[in-house]
Structure 1
Amino acid sequence: MNQRFDAVVIGGGIVGATTAYYLAKAGKRVALVEKGRINGEQSSRNWGAVRTQGRHSTEIPMMLDCLEIWRGIEAELGENVDWRQQGQMRLIYDRGMRERSEAFMPIAREFGLTTRLLTPREVADLLPHYDPRDCQGALFTPTDGNAEPEKAASAFARAAARLGATIMEFTAALSIDRWNDAVCGVETERGRLACETIVLASGVWTSRLLKPLGIKHPSLWVRGSVGRTGVLPIEMRKLVVWGKCAYRQRPDGRVNIAVAEDGFHDLMLDSFTYGLKFLPLAKRNWRNLRFSLGKPMIRSLMAEFDDFTTHRTLDPRPDWTGLARAADRFVEEYPGVGSIQYERAWAGYIDYMPDELPVIEALSEPNGLFVAAGLSGHGFGIGPIVGKTISDLIVRGRSDYDLAPFSSRRFNGG
C-alpha cells in the first residue's frame, strides 16, 4: 500500500480523532492511523470531566470555546456521548484546599467564569445524600460538565469517516519520513502514506516517535486508576466531584471513582532521561507522588515500548490498594451507600509534562510536522478545541489563540 493524503494524523484518542474530524470537515484528505483500536488508551479511561475550573489561566480561553463545542456536540455528530452540563465541584476539607480555591477566584473573575465558593449548607443542598460534617465548603463551577470517555473520541472518528477520512485501526506508524527540511510521509506496518502534513496526537507514545528526529518531548507516563460501582441509591446530579476522592455519577446511576490524589509513576528508562525536568513538580507534590519498579522497567530495558506493534493497547494494572482506599473515602462522604463493590476497574497512562501544560504547535523543523500532546491528565475536556486548533494551523495557517505558552521551546531553552 502506498497512498497519498493531505494529512496523516497519528493517534486515535480524543485529540487525534477531533483533529481528523475538523480536517475532513475542511475538505482535507486525511488518514487517522492508530496502532490499536480507536479510543483504546487514556482517552477512554479518564474521569470524563469537561472543566474550566482549576485550569491554568493560559488554557481557559481555549476551554471556554471548547465548552461551546461540547454543548452542541451531540447534535453535530448525531451521536449520544452522555454530555451533561451540571457542574464541577471541588470540596474543601482543609486550609490548603481553601487557599488554593480562593487563589483561583481572581482567575475566574478575569475570564468571567461562573465559579463561586459555596458554604457547607450550599454543598449539602446540591448533594442531598452527602454527609457535610467535615466539609468547609466547595469551589463550584455550574457551567462545567462531563461526558462519557468511552464514547466521545470514537464518535468523532466515525464522524470524520463520514466526511471522507480514512480510519486505519491496528496500523502502527513506524517512522516519520522527511525530505530535506520537510516531512513527506509516514511509514506504517501496512505501507507508506505519502503526505505533506503530519500530526502527532499520540499521547504517551509521542516522545518515542519524535526521538528519531532528534526532537525531545520530556514527558513521563503517569498511571491513573478508576473503578466503577454498581447502581447506587444516591443522587449526585451527574456532576463531577473531587473531595476525599474523585467521582462522577453516570446516567445509569453507577459511579466512577478515581484514585485522585496520588500520582503513580511506573519507573522506566525515560524516568532517568527526563527526571530532572520534573523535580519542581515532584517537590510540589512529594506527598502524593508514588513510584513503582516492576514490569514496565523490564519492558523499557528490553526496548519493548520502542516497537509500536508490541503493545497495541496499553492496559496497565489498576492500583487496587488506592481504589480500595478511594471507596472507603467515598463511603465517608456518602455513608448511606454502605460498602462499595466495584463492578470493574481499569487504569491508563497519562502523557505528563513537567509544567502540566500541553504541547500544541507547528514545529519549525521539519516543516509540516504538528504536535498536540502532553495533555497531563486534563486533556479529555479540552481535546476537541485542541484538535480544531491544530486543524486551523494546517488549513488557515494560524490560530485564534496565543500558543506561545504551549511551545516545546519552553523545555529546550527557546
Structure 2
Amino acid sequence: MYPHIQTVDSSPKLPEETDVTVIGGGIIGVSTAWALSRAGVRTTLLEKGVIAGEQSSRNWGWCRTMGRDEREIPLAMASLARWPELAAELSEEIGFKRTGILYACRDETELTQQRDWLARASHYGVSSRLLDAAELARYMPGIEPGAFVGALYTPDDGRAEPDVVAPAMARSAMRLGATLLQQCAVRGIETQSGRVHAVVTERGRVRTQAVVLAGGAWSSLFCRHLGIRLPQLKVLGSVMRTPPMTGGPEAALGTSGFSFRKRADGGYTIAHRGGTLAPIVPDSFRYLRDFLPMMRTSREEFRLRLDARLWQEAWHHRRWSNDDISPFERERVLDPMPSSRVLKEAMRQISDAVPFFRNIEIAQRWGGLIDVTPDSVPVIDSINTLPGFYLATGFSGHGFGTAPGAGQLMADLVTGSTPLVDPEPYRFSRFGKTGSKV
C-alpha cells in the first residue's frame, strides 16, 4: 500500500439524515463533498477504507490540459484555473507548481499525432505549442541528443501531491460542516416512490435526498447491485519513486515509453506511460463488446494480463442483501502489486534518454487500479432510471488533474446550479443500451 497518505479523522457518528450522501473517499468523491459543503448542502461522505487509499494517492500527480480527449478539455481547463487557488482555500500546502509538461516524440509519426491534437485543441485556449529538438533540449537540459525529434509543450500545466490533496479537501469539507466516516461501506440504497430515500451502510441507515457514487474502480459492481449496467473496467498502473535528488529537471516529461515528474520532497515519480496492464476478470467478458474498439486502437497502451484478480472477482456476488456483508467490506482497499517487468522497462528507457536517471536509487514501487470507460471519458451525470442517484466515475486515470472541476460540476448537477462546464460530453446516455438497467 502507498504509505505516505495523510490521515484524516472520521466524524464521531453516522447521522440519521443528510441532504446528499457521497459514496467514495477518493479525489472525485472528496472534491464533490467539498463543493457541496461550500454551497451549504448537508453532506455525508462515506468511505469503505480510508481517504485516498486507492488510485487517488497512487497516480502521477499531473495537473494537465495537454493531450486530453477533446471532450475533456473544458473540464481540464476549468480545473487548471482552480489549482493555483486551492492551497489558500484549503489552508494547507498541496505541492502545486505550474512547472510545465512536455510530451517528447521519438519520430515524425508521434510528432504528427501531437500536431494533430494541437490543431483540434487550440481553439479552447490551451497554452500548448510544438518544440523542435533544439528547443526541447533547452526546456529539458541533459536529455540525450538525438533521442527525440521534438515535443508538445504546455507551460501552464503543472503538478501536485496526490497523497496530500484529497485529505486536505476532506478536512476542509469537515470544517464546512460535512460528515465523514471511514471504514464505513455502503451496502445498498433504499427507494421510496421510485427515488432515492436512504443508504444502508455496515453501521446503519442514513436517510438522504440524493446519492453520488464516486466509487472509482468499484462503481460498476455497486451499479450492478442496483440493476444498472455501467461498462467499466480496471487497469493496473505501476509506479515508482526515488529519494530526493539534486540537479534534476523541474518540468514533467512524458514519452511513449516512460514519464517522470519532480515531487515536493525533491524526488521523482517515474512510470511507464505505455505500460498499463488490463487484468482479465469476469467484467472483461461482460463488457467485451463495449471495449472492443478500445482494445483494437490501444493495444500498445493496454496489455492484457491473466492474474489472481480473475479468481478474486469471480467471488464477488452480483447481488447481495443490504443486511449481508458486502464485497466492499471483504476487500477494503485495492492494493495490487506493481509489474516489475513494466517498471524495469521504464527504467531502461529513461536511463537511455535522460542520463540524469542512470544508476538512481528506487525508494518505493506501487500499483494502482484505474477505473476506465470504453471511451476513456468519465461519467458525470444523474441516472434517469433511479431519480436522486448520480454517477461521478470512469475518469480513466485523469481524475486527479480534473478533480477540482469534476467535483464542482457534480455539485452543480446535484443542486441544480449553472454547470461549471457543459455536462453533455459526460452523459451516461452516451453508452446507449449499455447504460440501461440490467
Could you state the TM-score of these two structures normalised by the residue count of structure 1? 0.96
**C-alpha deviation, 1:241, in angstroms:** 3.4
Aligned match of 1:323 in 343, 356, 363? 343
Aligned partner letter, 2:413: L
Match of 1:381? 401
Aligned partner letter, 1:355: D
> Is this contact kept in 2: 1:331–1:340, CA < 8 A?
no
Aligned match of 1:307 in 327, 330, 336? 327
Whole-Å Cα distance in 2 between the matches of residues 34 and 82 of structure 1? Answer: 25
**C-alpha deviation, 1:238, in angstroms:** 4.2
Asked if residue 292 in structure 1 is aligned to residue 309 in structure 2, the reply is no
Whole-Å Cα distance in 1 between the matches of residues 220 and 259 of structure 2? Answer: 29
Whole-Å Cα distance in 1 between the matches of residues 70 and 47 of structure 2? Answer: 32
Match of 1:280? 293
- Structure 2 vs 1, CA of residues 397 and 366 (structure 1 numbering), >3 Å: closer, same or farther? farther
Asked if residue 192 in structure 1 is aligned to residue 205 in structure 2, the reply is yes
> Is this contact kept in 2: 1:2–1:191, CA < 8 A?
no
Whole-Å Cα distance in 1 between the matches of residues 269 and 155 of structure 2? Answer: 20
SS in 1 for 2:363: strand
Question: CA deviation digits over 1:40-74, x for unaligned, max 9?
Answer: 00111111111111111221112211112101000
> Is this contact kept in 1: 2:186–2:201, CA < 8 A?
yes
Match of 1:113? 126
Asked if residue 40 in structure 1 is aligned to residue 53 in structure 2, the reply is yes
Aligned match of 2:375 in 355, 358, 361? 355
**C-alpha deviation, 1:262, in angstroms:** 2.3
> Is this contact kept in 2: 1:304–1:310, CA < 8 A?
no
Whole-Å Cα distance in 1 between the matches of residues 57 and 261 of structure 2? Answer: 15
Aligned partner letter, 1:209: F
Asked if residue 227 in structure 1 is aligned to residue 240 in structure 2, the reply is yes
Asked if residue 167 in structure 1 is aligned to residue 187 in structure 2, the reply is no
Asked if residue 80 in structure 1 is aligned to residue 100 in structure 2, the reply is no
**C-alpha deviation, 1:337, in angstroms:** 3.7
Match of 1:409? 429
SS in 2 for 1:132: coil
Q: Gaps spanning 5+ residues in structure 2: where?
A: 1-13, 319-325
SS in 1 for 2:332: coil
Whole-Å Cα distance in 2 between the matches of residues 72 and 139 of structure 1? Answer: 26
Match of 2:321? none
Match of 2:415? 395
Match of 2:216? 203
> Is this contact kept in 1: 2:29–2:214, CA < 8 A?
yes
> Is this contact kept in 1: 2:118–2:128, CA < 8 A?
yes
- Structure 2 vs 1, CA of residues 165 and 240 (structure 1 numbering), >3 Å: closer, same or farther? farther
Q: Greater CA deviation, 58-67 or 69-78?
A: 58-67
> Is this contact kept in 2: 1:238–1:251, CA < 8 A?
no
**C-alpha deviation, 1:359, in angstroms:** 0.4
| Counterpart mapping for 1:3-82 below 5 A | 3-82=16-95
**C-alpha deviation, 1:292, in angstroms:** 1.9
Match of 1:213? 226
- Structure 2 vs 1, CA of residues 133 and 351 (structure 1 numbering), >3 Å: closer, same or farther? same
- Structure 2 vs 1, CA of residues 360 and 142 (structure 1 numbering), >3 Å: closer, same or farther? same
Asked if residue 125 in structure 1 is aligned to residue 132 in structure 2, the reply is no
Q: Gaps spanning 5+ residues in structure 1: where?
A: none
> Is this contact kept in 1: 2:102–2:251, CA < 8 A?
no
Whole-Å Cα distance in 2 between the matches of residues 338 and 241 of structure 1? Answer: 17
Match of 1:339? 359
Runs of 4+ in 1 over 4 A off after TM superposition: none
- Structure 2 vs 1, CA of residues 2 and 30 (structure 1 numbering), >3 Å: closer, same or farther? closer
- Structure 2 vs 1, CA of residues 113 and 397 (structure 1 numbering), >3 Å: closer, same or farther? closer
Q: Greater CA deviation, 70-79 or 254-263?
A: 254-263
Aligned partner letter, 2:191: R
Question: CA deviation digits over 1:111-162, x for unaligned, max 9?
Answer: 1211100111111111112223221010000001111111111110010011
Match of 2:5? none
Match of 2:160? 147
Match of 1:369? 389
Question: CA deviation digits over 1:316-373, x for unaligned, max 9?
Answer: 0001111111111111122244323311011111100111111010111211111100
Aligned match of 1:91 in 104, 107, 110? 104
SS in 1 for 2:247: coil
**C-alpha deviation, 1:397, in angstroms:** 4.5
> Is this contact kept in 2: 1:318–1:346, CA < 8 A?
yes
SS in 2 for 1:214: coil
- Aligned-residue RMSD, C-alpha: 1.6
**C-alpha deviation, 1:107, in angstroms:** 2.4
SS in 1 for 2:284: helix
Q: Greater CA deviation, 342-351 or 257-266?
A: 257-266
> Is this contact kept in 2: 1:129–1:234, CA < 8 A?
no
**C-alpha deviation, 1:232, in angstroms:** 3.2
Q: Greater CA deviation, 95-104 or 43-52?
A: 95-104
Aligned partner letter, 2:308: K
Aligned match of 1:258 in 271, 292, 298? 271
Q: Greater CA deviation, 237-246 or 139-148?
A: 237-246
Whole-Å Cα distance in 2 between the matches of residues 50 and 164 of structure 1? Answer: 28
SS in 2 for 1:72: helix
SS in 1 for 2:35: helix
Whole-Å Cα distance in 1 between the matches of residues 358 and 300 of structure 2? Answer: 29
Aligned partner letter, 2:346: A
**C-alpha deviation, 1:208, in angstroms:** 1.1
Whole-Å Cα distance in 2 between the matches of residues 48 and 242 of structure 1? Answer: 16
Q: Greater CA deviation, 230-239 or 399-408?
A: 230-239
Question: CA deviation digits over 1:175-226, x for unaligned, max 9?
Answer: 1111232101111001011101100011011111111222111011000010
